[in-house]
Amino acid sequence: MSVVNQLCRYLSLLIWHPIVTVQKFLEYCAYIFSDASPDSVFQPPVMWIQRTADAYLKFHGVSVLDVQKIPDDGPVMFVMNHQTYAFEVPIFMSILYLRTGRWPRGLADHMHWYCPHKVILVYFGAILGTREVTSAHMRNKDDIIVYPGGANEVMRLRNAGKYILTWGERT
């Protein structure tokens, strides 16, 4: 492939990918703010996944072990702890998707549904973290990812000493 062809291909990807991404994002916005369920249109954002996971794996040298132990059938609930600012969420989900083809639906606290960033969370598959919604998705054989510490873990200060998970009334 000539240098000119490579340059044209690169420029078209550079211009076209953001347009397609914005278009898909706006479609999700329309679903989120209408009465339609975002579940009816949810698909993992594959192009974003590949780019994010590749960059993260190259930079941090992350290795993924024992993926074969995840059951092939039935729903799986992944229980994890948040890191500061929740940067691990898209990375974990991206790596899991690349290794297994599974994209768990993240349980999101009620407060996210009142914030503008709800659009982004739903775009990446978040669902309202109630027992009813979770049970419905598990019956539908959807994988679930839950962070029991929630926002308390995300916003904690690192220099505040040892962190103790607060369960409250969660079961």
If residue 51 lies in a helix (H) or strand (E), which one and from where to where?
Answer: helix 46-60
Q: For the whole model, what pTM was predicted?
A: 0.65
Categorize the per-residue pLDDT at 144 as very low, low, confident or very high, splitting at 50, 70 and 90.
Answer: very high
Which candidate, 50, 58, 97, 60, places its Cα nearest to that of 78?
A: 97
Position 75 scores a pLDDT of 93
Q: Name the DSSP letter for residue 129.
A: -
The 10s digit of each residue's pLDDT in 96-114 is 888 888 889 988 888 888 8
Return mean pLDDT, the chain.
72
